[in-house]
Structure 1
Amino acid sequence: MGIVLKQSFNNTLILFLGFAIGGINVLFLFTNFLHEDYFGLITFLLSAANIILPLLVFGMQHTMIKYFSSYKSKIEQDGFLISMLILPLVVIIPLALIGTLLYENIATWLSSENLLIKKYTYLIFIVAIFMGYFEVFHSWTKVQFNSVFGNFIKEIFARVCTSILLVAIYFEWITNEQFIYAMVIVYGVRMLLMKLYAFYIYMPKLIFKMPTNLKEILSFSLYIIVAGSASGILLEIDKFMIPQIEKIAEVAYYSVGVYIASVVAIPTRAMQQITSPITAKEMNDNNIVEVEKLYKQTSINLLVVGGLLFLLINLNITDLYELINKPQYSKGIWIVLIISIAKLLELALGTGNAILINSKYYKIFFYLSLAMALTVILLNRWLISLIGINGAAFATLTVVFMYSFIKIIYIKWKLKIQPFSANTIKVLLLVIAIFLAFNFWNFNFNPIINIILKCLLIGVPYLLIIKKLHISKDINSLVTKYF
């Protein structure tokens, strides 16, 4: 776990810093400087881009991680990497032509409930290409076991640029409309920086030779395209569908709640940067013992850290919304609780998704992802119409619970490994006990003072109990070293 713990810790610090900057953007700058319709618009455009991203890059970011370690010679590796950059063009160019011919129909459909969207529809395709190739170049560095810089560019660069642009709106240097176009440029520059760093880490020779196992790669990529799109639908469809049913400003209110809840997922996002290529390598070597060890360690470590974040967020949520000082956004309080529970369930899965994708049973990931996408679309359509934006959060929680359970059972059935132990139950009981104990305990001071006091009263006992119970050797060593 040495390289995993080291890079995961560095990635976690970067993610926390990125979320801190993003938190300032989402909770204060966006809500006060940008009109809520344009806040909803940029959220919609980015969500739509994320949904089509896997299709445009042909799933190459996952294919690269799965197959790179299976090539042993430099010539094979170089040819493989070059092909990973060329193959997406087979999809991008035809789709660009089709999109140009059918643009008016697509734009009219997307803007049926909110006309503001129509003018900016084409930006979805451009941003998706920028995002997609960024992920490909990021995977390029991951297979070299170097994930920290890419994570820095991904999590911090775009958010700092966003902060600057929002301040520019405040001083009337740019308009709300110009902000939308400027954000597209930011994503383009981000992709270019990632490309330059990827070539700096590993510069291949220009070998225009397709891999010998091209048929296998294409088969895997086709499954991953659909699975990746389905996963993107699970993450982004709520923000995509809300404007089709509600006013576009509702996306802004929903996004703030989701953003706050997403802090719970920081540990898994950090750890996945390095555990995915390691899991792929161990699966290629058929080393199930190491795969199981990583599976169990990541599950309990993520649950411990995620449990603490879950408590700190949800037990301070009222004060946090008071700091935002925008009453219309406070309808997202329940969204924070519902989505953060879903994120906690995902943490408990550990490296489960990486195991499925990189095993010979990867096709099941395709079927599960497709089923998840269809389920969440149907639930969103029903629940958003029924109870508004809270319905979108309930749809996400329901689908995450159902399919996380199925994945755990399937991995246990096929590989005879599972991530849980008695310590899992201990952590869950501790989280529930502290949540119930502090849920109705409020201070009558300034919101910032209230948050600091609660964080101390919750965080210190939580970490001490975790250390005392010897839940995780990795967490214990970090607590001892830094606290």
Structure 2
Amino acid sequence: MGIVIRQSIKTTGITYLGFVVGYLNTLLLFPLVLSKEQIGLTRLLISVSFLFATFASLGAGNIPTKFFPYFKDESKQHNGILPFVISVGMVGYIIFVIVFFLLKDVIFSIYTKNSPLLLDYFYYFLPFTLIVLLTTIFESYLIVQQKPVVPTIVREVLMRLFMSLGLVAVLTSIFSFETFADSIIIYYLIGLMILILYIKRKKVLFLKPNFQILKSAHLKEMLMYAGFIIMGNASATIIANIDSLMLSAYSGLGSAGIYTIAFFIAAVIEIPKRSISQVVIPIVSQANKDGDVSKLKEMYQKTSLNQLIVGGLLFLGIWCNIDNIFKLIPNGEIYSPGKWVVFYIGLSKLFDMATGVNQEIVGTSKYYKIDLAFYLFLAAVAVITNLIFIPKYGITGAAFASAISIFLFNTIRFLFLLSFMKIQPFSIGTIKVLVIFFLTLFVSSQISSMQNFIVDLILRSVVVLFLFGGLVLLLNVSDDVRKIVQTILNRIKDILN
């Protein structure tokens, strides 16, 4: 876990810096500058473009994740895998453009009644989808070479800083909302160019086609893998975005705006998982290639335990302060109906973290095809549950439906890996963390609310941090967490001395 710890600390630190910027954007600037309908529209412009890019890529961005170890040879320009992957993506984009225009009337019929503003940006999705598609490919290319830091900076920090500048421009009347919405494409284009320049600087921008790859013994398997992955990724993206898409269709962009704010609060919990995943992917991929089950088991259990600890601490800190958090948000009374969205989404994120890197293990193994069946099943569950719960319970129903999907998804993956690979993520440490978690939740719930909500927030946060964190360290639940804390304390001592 040495390289995982080092790079995870870097990427997690960068990601949390991005969260700070994201907090300023989503919980302060967005509610201050934009209406809830405009917030909902902004969320949809981005999430729909990512959804379209998932389909348009034909799974190209995932090919390096599994097959890079077979082509890795810098002296031979990695045997042309980068231009091959880009070519697959561009073929997919051309197909997407054709389908996009064929389905225009269907899309208009869905959103005309409750979200007509979205239709004003219909053609916006064409260039944005292409930019997201290429960004995904270059990010994947860097990550499989164990260079996740710059992609993380661009995605988590730079994009959000650009968004901050745009919001400030709206606040000071330099930008209209329409100009702000248009500028989002420019931000992502700049991010893409930075990735390309970074790859060139590292001297691994190998764009010369190597037609020998078309004769590779792995070609058929790569194309089959991409075919399965596109459906799997599309299903996963549907699961992640169906709530906001259906809320906009059923309840309008205002509900989507409230949901966006609440979802962001809960999404903080999964930041460590996103950082760890980028570092673990090449290690898990290599272990699957080598048939090293012991390494897979080690990564599975350690990531599960460490993610549960960090995720549990974040969930407790958020939920115990949820009313205070909404008081911090400008116009917070408008967005406070999202309280239970935070609970259900947060709980599902925590469960996702507790089940470890199951997606990375299955997705890079010989069983990757079965993952498609999981995704398709759960995409269907997500659509059905949203259809049931959104009309009855609105934004809370959307969150509950999403939570059901995530719980089912991870439970099925857990049972599959247990049955077919004889590995599971839990240990005695898991039980210890859960006991500490519920003890902390109980103690914090007994604290009487204070008149000054800032003082109340600080008090509850201190109780959660010292009770949960202290018991985890005292019982030495995780060697990795203990080492990280010790490293941080040593650095603080060095600074003070």
- Tell me if TM exceeds 0.5: yes
Q: What's the offset of the Cα at 1:35?
A: 2.2
Quote the residue 2:138 is aligned against. 137
Q: Determine if the alignment matches structure 1 residue 89 to structure 2 residue 90.
A: yes
Q: What's the offset of the Cα at 1:278?
A: 1.1
Q: Determine if the alignment matches structure 1 residue 397 to structure 2 residue 403.
A: yes
Q: What's the offset of the Cα at 1:318?
A: 0.6
Cα 1:439–1:125 change in 2 (3 A) is farther
Say whether the 8 Å CA contact 2:56–2:95 is kept in structure 1: no
Quote the residue 1:192 is aligned against. 193
Q: What's the offset of the Cα at 1:136?
A: 0.9
Quote the residue 1:238 is aligned against. 243
The one-character-per-residue Cα deviations of 1:409-444 (angstroms, maximum 9, x if unpaired) are 100111111110111111112111211221252442
Cα 1:459–1:165 change in 2 (3 A) is same
The one-character-per-residue Cα deviations of 1:144-182 (angstroms, maximum 9, x if unpaired) are 111011100000111111111111111111111111101
Cα 1:289–1:102 change in 2 (3 A) is closer
Kindly report which structure 2 residues correspond to 1:160-179, keeping only aligned pairs within 5 A, or say none: 160-179=161-180
Q: Aligned to 1:274, which of 273, 279, 282?
A: 279
- Distance in 1 of aligned mates of 2:440 and 2:259: 27
Kindly report which structure 2 residues correspond to 1:65-464, keeping only aligned pairs within 5 A, or say none: 65-74=65-74, 75=76, 77-100=78-101, 102-201=103-202, 202-204=204-206, 206-209=208-211, 210-211=213-214, 212=216, 213-326=218-331, 327-464=333-470
Cα 1:216–1:314 change in 2 (3 A) is same
Say whether the 8 Å CA contact 1:78–1:204 is kept in structure 2: no
Say whether the 8 Å CA contact 1:50–1:236 is kept in structure 2: no
Q: Determine if the alignment matches structure 1 residue 5 to structure 2 residue 5.
A: yes
Gaps (5+ residues) in structure 2? 490-497
Q: What's the offset of the Cα at 1:203?
A: 2.5
Q: What's the offset of the Cα at 1:98?
A: 3.8
Say whether the 8 Å CA contact 1:78–1:205 is kept in structure 2: no
Quote the residue 1:17 is aligned against. 17
Cα 1:127–1:439 change in 2 (3 A) is farther
- Distance in 2 of aligned mates of 1:474 and 1:441: 31
Cα 1:78–1:112 change in 2 (3 A) is farther
The one-character-per-residue Cα deviations of 1:196-225 (angstroms, maximum 9, x if unpaired) are 212333132613413412211110001000
The one-character-per-residue Cα deviations of 1:385-432 (angstroms, maximum 9, x if unpaired) are 011110011001111111211111100111111110111111112111
For 1:380, what is the secondary structure of its paired residue? helix
Say whether the 8 Å CA contact 2:196–2:205 is kept in structure 1: no
Gaps (5+ residues) in structure 1? none
Q: 1:185 is aligned with what amino acid?
A: I
Quote the residue 2:492 is aligned against. none
* Residue range with higher mean Cα deviation, 78-87 or 4-13: 78-87
For 2:120, what is the secondary structure of its paired residue? helix
Q: TM-score, normalised by structure 1?
A: 0.97
User: How many pairs align?
Assistant: 483
Q: 2:361 is aligned with what amino acid?
A: I
- Distance in 1 of aligned mates of 2:47 and 2:432: 37
Say whether the 8 Å CA contact 1:307–1:344 is kept in structure 2: yes
Q: What's the offset of the Cα at 1:94?
A: 2.7
Q: Aligned to 1:474, which of 480, 487, 491?
A: 480
- Distance in 1 of aligned mates of 2:275 and 2:72: 28
For 2:464, what is the secondary structure of its paired residue? helix
Q: 2:441 is aligned with what amino acid?
A: F
- Distance in 2 of aligned mates of 1:196 and 1:366: 34
- Distance in 1 of aligned mates of 2:437 and 2:127: 43
For 1:219, what is the secondary structure of its paired residue? helix
Cα 1:447–1:131 change in 2 (3 A) is farther
- Distance in 2 of aligned mates of 1:335 and 1:109: 24
* Residue range with higher mean Cα deviation, 338-347 or 33-42: 33-42
Cα 1:188–1:110 change in 2 (3 A) is farther
* Residue range with higher mean Cα deviation, 400-409 or 452-461: 452-461
Q: What's the offset of the Cα at 1:324?
A: 1.1
* Residue range with higher mean Cα deviation, 458-467 or 356-365: 458-467
Q: What's the offset of the Cα at 1:108?
A: 4.1
Q: 1:232 is aligned with what amino acid?
A: T
Cα root mean square deviation, aligned: 1.5
For 2:145, what is the secondary structure of its paired residue? coil
Q: TM-score, normalised by structure 2?
A: 0.94
Q: 2:329 is aligned with what amino acid?
A: I
Q: 2:473 is aligned with what amino acid?
A: K
Q: 1:68 is aligned with what amino acid?
A: F
- Distance in 1 of aligned mates of 2:30 and 2:398: 22
Q: What's the offset of the Cα at 1:123?
A: 1.7
* Residue range with higher mean Cα deviation, 437-446 or 306-315: 437-446
For 1:388, what is the secondary structure of its paired residue? helix
Q: What's the offset of the Cα at 1:109?
A: 3.4
Q: 1:204 is aligned with what amino acid?
A: F
* Residue range with higher mean Cα deviation, 72-81 or 212-221: 72-81
Q: What's the offset of the Cα at 1:77?
A: 2.0
Say whether the 8 Å CA contact 2:55–2:96 is kept in structure 1: no
* Residue range with higher mean Cα deviation, 264-273 or 205-214: 205-214
Identity of aligned residues (%): 29
- Distance in 1 of aligned mates of 2:448 and 2:132: 42
* Residue range with higher mean Cα deviation, 104-113 or 354-363: 104-113
